[in-house]
Chain A
Amino acid sequence: MSNPLADMDKPDVIFCIGTNMTECHPVAATRLKRALARGAKMIVADPRRIGLAEIADVHLPLRVGSDVSLLLAMAHVIAREGLMDQAFIDARTTQGEDFMEHVAQYTPEWAAEICECDPADIEKAALLYGGADRGAIYYTVGITEHICGVDNVQSLCNLALMTGNLGREGTGVNPMRGQNNIQGAGDAGALPNNYPGFQAVTVPAHQEKFHEAYGRKVDLATGMTKVTALDLCGDGIHAMIINGENTLVTDPDRHHCEHALKSLDCLVVIDIFMTDTAKVADVVFPATAWAETDGVCTNTERRVQRLRAAVPPPGEAKPDWWIVSRLAQRMGWKGFEFESAKEVFNELCSLSPLYAGLDWDRIDRGEYQWPVPTRDHPGTPRLHEEGFENGRGIFKMLEYRDPEETLSDEYPMWLTTGRRLPQYHTRTQTGRSGGIDYLLSEETLEVHPDDIARLGLVDGGWAELSNPRGCLHVKVRATAKSPKGTVFASFAFEDVPVNVLTGGGYDPVTQTAALKACPVALKPVGPPLALGQVGVGARGF
């Protein structure tokens, strides 16, 4: 997030897009609700009538994957009405004039043809955000998990740049990170293009720094992404070490993924449970879990916080850093003689300019938000206050692109996926926590009542959901939360593995999978038959 969580009850106008915050980041959502109680207005762009939409002033139920068209049209209205922050544009951005010219063609009526929203609502949303003194944008993977994920984010940045909604209290472009330490994994350098602290691996100064620190030359080119690596399994990639990810269940196109992992010469999995992914490994190492592990995590607002062990781990489980460093030692490598999490974290701090002012002891109370470049620096709750890191904010001239797969006579419905409040991800944790199943014990496919009637489905009955990648059976629930023509399911339950269907391409820049827009066919079927019908086309009991 560009701005701290504490800013979330301060905007005049909140624009949430592709974020089901009341279910996925419930505590952050309480701050938005407090802003609303204080009189703030809220725009929610989401295909589904999610919890936030229920309390919004404007709900834009856009067609999945059409965000760029909607955001171009909002920019069009803001430019047409002269709601730009010209002083900000002049002082802090470049190509503003070109951008205003670029968006002149993208009217709400044009966008409505693509995003299927009412042009009057697009107009209303643009006037609200454009007219705000403090406008704040919040988004989650509903924005990024598309073939145009980067375009979506840059479209949001364009809106913030043209209205000067950056670098001030209660504003910003704020991605809500979905996992407790997904930010930290990037901070720590687990990226193919960056060393720790987002230092690009292609910059000679960084290469020298890490050559010296690690006593070994590292390839000068960026590595491949996980997505490419999975494509190349058995053909260039012959071993994988997977730490704490149930790749088989969370990644798109399960059958492709399963085939990839099975074609490796060696798969090492480090996890706390025997996940589906661990089951196909050659070696499984038992890791310590949350509340058994001392360590550090960074939250969505870049706050660096301490994790503390409260109980001993089961049996011989060990911290991840211990396992990986000991494996490195067995490989015969020097420099992996770490004895504590503190030692590991302090080495990270010594190599990351973002953490240069931090160490294990200094983060004890979680006061710092990075960057913290020096020991006397107070941390940076709000980014871009003085300026942008790379000089001026650049407007991007974007154009709308269709998803890689679009609707056809054969696959006439959109499937979109996500999480639900009580269950987390693939239920490896919440499914093993007492009581959670009381709130949600099975997956259902959310289908608009008109579609139920049109397709001959029955509320509470069963449907077959299919596309060329796979097929599954799922119980149907009639709800107007889903728009007509779009169905929703979470990927939490193993007997409804929706990721056998997803996989319609990747963003060309980040290779983030397009998990949110997937054409499918939907038809009624009878209830599941006897046990043992495992495999494609059957419920995987």
Chain B
Amino acid sequence: MKRNGTPSTNGKGVQLTMTLDGEKVAFTRGETVYEVAERHQKEIPTLCYDPRLEPFGGCRLCIVELEGARNPVASCTMKAEPGMRVRTRTAALEVQRRILMEMVASENRDTDVDPMHGYASQEMAELLDRYDARTGRFEGALSGESRPDDDNPFIKRDYENCISCYRCVRVCAEQEGDYAISVMNRGFHTQITTEFGGLLKDSACTFCGQCIQTCPTGALGDLKALANKDVPGETETTRTICPYCGVGCTVDVMTRGEKIVGVLPAMDGPANEGALCVKGQFAFDFVGHPDRLATPFIREEKSGQLRPASWDEALDFAAGKLRKVVKDHGRRAIYGIASGRAPHEAAYMMQRFIRAGLGTNHIDNCSRA
């Protein structure tokens, strides 16, 4: 999966350089070797890395050979230094990485999960393919206990597919500042859990879904999207802006055919940089709700009831009523209220109707209450 968040060089002061696979490359002070390599399309494998989080050095897949160092080093935690000579892809490294991937796979019940699990859910499967590591050479114990008892409708907690990369724990702490989940025990007994080991709803969890979206194995999954995994058709995404508060988070709406099947946060969204809240992440299905109005309605004179009408009939009916108001009471008798929820074009057309049509300024929006 393509990652965003590639740093830029700052261009200040002296140009710092290091050698990457025999090529001299520039870097910015503070950049890690992994970040420099990413910028040069080295595609170093990793499972515990999320560009928004502090480097962790947990999965050891991003090891590189550093001249002068006895053992390979984790490139995600190693800061680039002037004159450093680094090799990112040697036969020895690739062998080590393959073994690591075989071991990772051995700890999980499933190595392949439906992409509807979340944004990063295919990362492990992709690396298993890349390293041809589905050998089953090792027999590991499953590394976590799943929580089918957690009845929340949003976050699947399938820890038998957990590789203890701690990305969920870190995104919750570093990115969200919620500290709702943590780690218990070590080694094969490592378990991602909440305080007191209870349900997410009884923890500090705000159901923002960030843990789901950073999970590289599908141990965590988006239950609302997964409920749509059998909807026929290819998944397409459309970039738009969340419909709720004024922060304006960028989202990629997933659709199959004419159905919205889920929402992904846009990692390069200028306002949110990959973050979402419970509403932006999960409250999307009002769109296709059966209560939606699908036809105009007009109020019948006789019965006093609203009844469905065609556009032609309803537009004429409304225009007739409005014209009568103008005739009886003058053009200043009509007032327009625009929406703070609809796009610019709606508000603009509302004020245009009032100003260009009626020649008054009797227009407002819903911001006063």
B267 contacts across to A, CB distance below 8 A: none
Chain A interface, number of residues (Cβ within 8 angstroms):
149
- Determine whether the beta carbon of B334 is less than 8 Å from that of A243: no
A414 within 8 A of partner (CB): no
B69 within 8 A of partner (CB): no
A196-B351 in contact given A237-B333, A432-B291 (Cβ < 8 Å): yes
A324-B287 in contact given A196-B351, A285-B314, A314-B294 (Cβ < 8 Å): no
B260 within 8 A of partner (CB): yes
**Contact among B247, B316, B364, B366 for A27, CB-based, below 8 A:** B247
Binds B, one of A70-78, A247-255, A465-473, A476-484: A247-255
A238-B328 in contact given A30-B275, A243-B337, A273-B292 (Cβ < 8 Å): yes
Binds A, one of B95-103, B182-190, B249-257: B249-257
**Contact among B258, B278, B285, B334 for A240, CB-based, below 8 A:** B334
- Determine whether the beta carbon of B242 is less than 8 Å from that of A180: yes
Q: Please provide the chain B residues from 263 to 282 with a CB less than 8 Å away from any CB of chain A in the complex.
A: 269-272, 275-280, 282
A328 within 8 A of partner (CB): yes
- Determine whether the beta carbon of B154 is less than 8 Å from that of A435: yes
CA distance A168 to B178 in the complex (A): 29
| Chain B proximity mask over A288-313: 1 for CB below 8 Å, otherwise 0 | 01111101111111010111111110
Q: Please provide the chain A residues from 186 to 205 with a CB less than 8 Å away from any CB of chain B in the complex.
A: 186-193, 195-196, 201
- Determine whether the beta carbon of A33 is less than 8 Å from that of B248: no
| Chain A proximity mask over B327-369: 1 for CB below 8 Å, otherwise 0 | 0110011111111111111111111111111011111111111
- Determine whether the beta carbon of A227 is less than 8 Å from that of B333: no
CA distance A348 to B306 in the complex (A): 35
Q: Please provide the chain B residues from 293 to 341 with a CB less than 8 Å away from any CB of chain A in the complex.
A: 293-299, 306, 311, 314-319, 321-325, 328-329, 332-341
CA distance A27 to B269 in the complex (A): 12
CA distance A274 to B362 in the complex (A): 25
B125 within 8 A of partner (CB): no
- Determine whether the beta carbon of B282 is less than 8 Å from that of A311: no
B289 within 8 A of partner (CB): yes
A432-B349 in contact given A300-B247, A439-B201 (Cβ < 8 Å): no
Among B338, B341, B363, max chain A CB count under 10 A is at B341
Could you tell me the distance in whole angstroms from the C-beta of A504 to the nearest C-beta in chain B?
Answer: 13
A328 contacts across to B, CB distance below 8 A: 349, 352-353, 356-357
Could you tell me the distance in whole angstroms from the C-beta of A417 to the nearest C-beta in chain B?
Answer: 11
**Contact among A301, A331, A510 for B271, CB-based, below 8 A:** A301
**Contact among B177, B241, B247, B354 for A5, CB-based, below 8 A:** B247
CA distance A504 to B209 in the complex (A): 40
CA distance A318 to B315 in the complex (A): 12
CA distance A331 to B269 in the complex (A): 42
A455 within 8 A of partner (CB): no
- Determine whether the beta carbon of B355 is less than 8 Å from that of A214: yes
CA distance A311 to B240 in the complex (A): 12
Could you tell me the distance in whole angstroms from the C-beta of A401 to the nearest C-beta in chain B?
Answer: 19
CA distance A188 to B352 in the complex (A): 10
- Determine whether the beta carbon of B282 is less than 8 Å from that of A433: yes
**Contact among B243, B269, B272, B353 for A324, CB-based, below 8 A:** B353
**Contact among B272, B321, B366 for A283, CB-based, below 8 A:** B321
- Determine whether the beta carbon of B243 is less than 8 Å from that of A429: yes
Chain B residue nearest to A24 (CB atoms) is: B245
B255 contacts across to A, CB distance below 8 A: 310-311
A191-B224 in contact given A182-B246, A347-B348 (Cβ < 8 Å): no
- Determine whether the beta carbon of A283 is less than 8 Å from that of B152: no
Could you tell me the distance in whole angstroms from the C-beta of B69 to the nearest C-beta in chain A?
Answer: 31
Could you tell me the distance in whole angstroms from the C-beta of B192 to the nearest C-beta in chain A?
Answer: 20
| Chain B proximity mask over A103-124: 1 for CB below 8 Å, otherwise 0 | 0000000000000000000000
B196 within 8 A of partner (CB): no
Q: Please provide the chain A residues from 28 to 77 with a CB less than 8 Å away from any CB of chain B in the complex.
A: 28-30, 33-34, 36-37, 55
**Contact among A183, A244, A283, A347 for B317, CB-based, below 8 A:** A283
- Determine whether the beta carbon of A422 is less than 8 Å from that of B333: no
- Determine whether the beta carbon of A184 is less than 8 Å from that of B279: no
Binds B, one of A129-137, A159-167, A218-226, A383-391: A218-226
A102 within 8 A of partner (CB): no
A79 within 8 A of partner (CB): no
CA distance A283 to B258 in the complex (A): 28
CA distance A224 to B154 in the complex (A): 45
CA distance A428 to B341 in the complex (A): 12
B13 within 8 A of partner (CB): no
Beyond the given pairs A244-B340, A421-B277, A432-B291, 5 more chain A to chain B contacts, judged by CB atoms under 8 angstroms and listed by A's residue number, are A28-B247, A180-B244, A251-B369, A314-B293, A430-B283
What would be 14 A-B contacts, judged by CB atoms less than 8 Å apart?
A181-B340, A181-B341, A185-B338, A201-B361, A226-B364, A229-B337, A266-B325, A274-B297, A283-B299, A299-B271, A308-B238, A321-B343, A331-B357, A512-B367
Chain A interface residues (CB < 8 Å from chain B): 5, 22, 24-30, 33-34, 36-37, 55, 145, 176-193, 195-196, 201, 210, 214-219, 221-227, 229, 236-245, 247, 250-252, 265-266, 268, 271-274, 278-279, 281-287, 289-293, 295-301, 303, 305-312, 314-321, 324-328, 330-333, 335-336, 338, 341, 344-345, 347-348, 366-367, 421-422, 424, 428-436, 438-439, 506, 510-513, 515
Nearest 7 pairs of A and B residues by beta carbon: A315-B294, A299-B248, A295-B343, A33-B177, A244-B339, A223-B361, A177-B246
